[in-house]
Amino acid sequence: MSIARLLTFTLIVCSIALFGDQITMKNGDRFSGAVIKLDGKNLVFKSDYAGNITVPWEAVAAISSTMPLSITLEDGQLVLGQVTTADNKFVVQTRDAGTVMASRDAVQMVRSQAEQAEADRYRNPRITDLWAGFLDLGYAAARGNSTNNNLNVSANATRATTRDKIQVYFTSLYASSKVSGKSVVTANAERGGIGYNLNVSPRIFVFGTVDLESDQFQDLDLRFSPAGGFGYHAAKGETTVFDIFGGAGLNREFFSNGLNRTSGEALVGEDLVYRLSSITSLHERLSFYPNITRTGEYRTNFDLSAATTLKKWLAWQVTASDRLLSDPLPGRKRNDLILTTGLRITFARAESK
């Protein structure tokens, strides 16, 4: 390499390090630093002197970058290269396709390489990423002429992406009473399961679930009920998410008296999440299972919870969980209701460590 070329290369490198990306505002102000992202309305820019600043995109007259930026166009095309603007157009110097030009209105998103890598990871996350959920705890006790203990535990973990959703859930209630030295269990029930939804279009999804349940006072040792079908996102907004779904499943029941029952079931239901305020939300789900093996029989699952945020990681919750069986064992009631209230510990995991 000649001395002249070496000096030229050195000057270019020094200029990049010195000036970096630049934005020029319509009022004539200029900022140097690094472009982070443009989300369609606002440009986020890391200034050399003022840190991260956010400016309205409509107030920006021009930008130029010394490092490659990812440009998303309105037709979905993704272009990577150094950017300048001229005559209300983006000029992108790419490595493979040469110069690409696009109108300012055609640019939907601008991201730095780090921001683009993060966006790509959220579109194709690892199985350990994006989990969020809660743990509910409630305990009540009485002492005196009688001794009573009541413990309820619920947990829910959800991993939701734009493509699919995995959900794991569990609820239990145990209560006992001791009077005149005699201890009696008054409630002992557990319910849990796992579900998977896969979006096949913005509105349509397919799903599969496996639910497990036991209830001492229905003499139910185990209910195993896998199901699957199709669903429809009827509403999906910031305050309301409402899904309806339908399909079919299998119901296997094992009772303490030795009776085992296996039957096919249809399934219809709905799921609603509604934000009442900035700190209070409501979640309701109803599933109806008509028995197609023993026609005329059915069962329903109904769950309702409300939670109010106390801190970022802490909330107070009230939950009702009802299970109705149209044909219980002789001497047993048709439905059992678990009603609980207590603290809710929430968590969210954006990425694995």
**What is the mean pLDDT for each group of 10 consecutive residues in the chain (353 residues)?**
47 47 88 85 83 86 88 86 85 86 86 84 80 93 86 94 92 90 89 96 96 94 98 92 97 96 98 95 97 96 96 94 93 90 87 43
Pairing state between β 182-199 and 204-215: antiparallel
Contact (Cβ atoms closer than 8 angstroms) between residue 89 and residue 63: no
pLDDT score for 77: 86
Q: pTM for this structure?
A: 0.70
The phi and psi torsions of 60 (rounded to 5 degrees) equal -95, 130
Report the pLDDT value the prediction gives residue 349, as an integer from 0 to 100.
67
How many whole angstroms separate alpha carbon 269 and alpha carbon 1? 73
Enter the tokens of residue 132.
């969020």
